[in-house]
């Protein structure tokens, strides 16, 4: 079963580069601003659906792409909650 995740990055360029490397592996992701609940300063995120966040992390690690954290998104009654998973 696929779950929704958000991966936090320190800049738009890191998020865009990560999106490109994931796309090369057939993993679709969208670059957007970090949600206010996760934002301590300006930052961008990749939003994606995946059955294994570990495979996503492995692609980023292989390409030496650092990220601030990975969060599983749960939507309840129109409100999103974020649980850190990596």
Task: Give the model confidence (pLDDT) of 5-47 as tens digits.
Answer: 999 998 999 999 999 999 999 999 999 999 888 876 668 999 9
Task: Tell me: pLDDT of 52 over 80.
Answer: yes
- Of the ranges 12-16, 68-72, 77-81, which one carries the lowest mean pLDDT score? 77-81
Q: What is the extent of the structural domain holding 34?
A: 3-84
Average pLDDT on 42-59 reads: 92
Contact (CB, 8 A) for 85 and 20: no
Contact (CB, 8 A) for 46 and 35: no
Residue 43's domain is classified under what CATH number? 3.30.70.120
Number of compact structural domains in the chain: 1
Please give the pLDDT value at position 41.
66
Please give the pLDDT value at position 36.
84
Contact (CB, 8 A) for 59 and 72: no
């Amino acid at each position: 079963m696929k779950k929704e995740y958000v991966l936090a990055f320190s800049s738009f360029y890191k998020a865009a580069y990560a999106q490109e490397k994931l796309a090369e592996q057939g993993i679709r992701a969208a670059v957007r601003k970090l949600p206010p609940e996760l934002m301590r300063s300006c930052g961008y995120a990749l939003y994606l659906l995946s059955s294994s966040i570990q495979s996503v992390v492995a692609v980023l690690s292989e390409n030496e792409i650092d990220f601030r954290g990975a969060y599983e998104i749960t939507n309840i009654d129109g409100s999103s909650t974020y649980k850190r998973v990596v």
